Structures are given as structure tokens and as C-alpha cells.
Amino acid sequence: MARAGLTAERVVRAAADLADEVGFDNITVSALARSFGVKDASLYSHVKNVRDLRTRVAVLAAGELADRIGAAVAGRAGKDALAAFAGAYRDFALERPGRYAATQIQLDPAAVAESPGHLRNVEYTYGMLRAYGLSEPDLTDAVRLLRSTFHGFVSLESTGGFGHSRDVRASWDRSVDALHTLLEHWTS
């Protein structure tokens, strides 16, 4: 019979798509095998186990997020860069919820060190803050506040945590504005 032509890469990409559909926590090698018209056991030659599959999806997703953020902040600085970063971040989280969730799981440090996407995201964040002229430990405090707010917002938004009728996008823009003024007066 004709082969499906599986590859570790194709399997991981399909898993990421599946995650965007049913949620990252609900990806299963059974469903993945079904989508390829293949038996479960066949996938275990491309992927060690579910845990391995998840970390591979995380690495892939972090790379895609980094691509978007990198494109958004290219050639920008200050408030302009902050707004572009924020927009790319939120868009990615809302358009690719499974992939976004994947970027947030904890990997062993070794895996993170080998994931270009994870590293690039950190670099972009620190790079974006360069224009505000902060130095340690203020810089790291600011990075943590930014990451917390961004992640918390899209996390609450995508789990339906915002019940009020107020337009969510408007709240987001307002928050990003507020963070900008905060960063400008961070040291005082």
C-alpha cells in the first residue's frame, strides 16, 4: 500500500496544527496517527514519546513566534518597537493558540539551550527594551513585568477570562500604552 511519507518534521508540524485545533494539552499520538491514516505505533519511529512530541512542538512554535516578532520589530525602536512586539505577540497567541501554549511549557534547560526560537525571543525582548536605557537589575524587572503582562493578558483572553463587554483589543492597546509610559519613568 502507498506510504504516508512521514518524517519527524511532518509529524511535529501536524501535531502543532492539531494543537491549534483541539488545544495543546489534547494532542495525542492516536489522533495524530489517524490524521495520517497510519497506526499509532508507526509514529514512534519518528518521535520518542508524547513528551518528546510536545517539546518538539514547543521548539517549532517558539521559532515561529520569534519569526513574527523579529519581523515586527525590525527597524523599530522605543514605543514603536514595543507596540509592534505586542501586536505580533498577541496575534500569534490568538491565531495559533495551540502553538502559543506550547511555547509556555517548561522544558529542561538543555532543550531550551538548543531551541533557537526560545533564545531569539529572549533576545528580542531585551533588545526592544534597549531604547529605554535601563540597567540591571531594573532591566530584568522590566522584562519580567512585560512578559508577565503580555502572557497573562493573552492567556486570560483566550481562556475566556474577560467577561466584560469592553472591547478587548482596546484594553490591550491601553495596557501597552501604559507599559510604555511606565518604562520611560522606570528608574524614578
> Using CB under 7 A as the criterion, which residues of the chain lie in contact with DNA when the complex forms?
1-7, 28-31, 37-42, 44-46, 48-51
Binding partner at 187 among DNA, its own copies, none, C-beta below 5 to 8 Å by kind: none
Q: Which amino acid is present at 99?
A: R
Under rule CB under 8 A, residue 133 binds its own copies = no
Site membership for its own copies, residue 24 (CB under 8 A): no
139: phi then psi, degrees, rounded to nearest 5: -60, -50
Q: Which of 34, 169, 174, 187 binds its own copies (CB under 8 A)?
A: 174
The yes or no reply on residue 178 touching its own copies (CB under 8 A) is yes
Q: Which three cell numbers stand for residue 68?
A: 513574527
Grid-cell match 501597552, residue found: 176
> C-alpha angle 93/95/98, rounded to 5°?
65
Buried b (16+ CB within 10 A) or exposed e, 73-96: beeeeebebbbbbbbbbbebbeeb
DSSP 8-state class, residue 114: T
5 sits near its own copies (criterion: CB under 8 A): no
Q: Footprint of its own copies on this chain (CB under 8 A)?
A: 25, 104-106, 109, 136-138, 140-141, 143-145, 147-153, 155-156, 159-164, 166, 168, 170-171, 174-175, 178, 181-182, 185-186
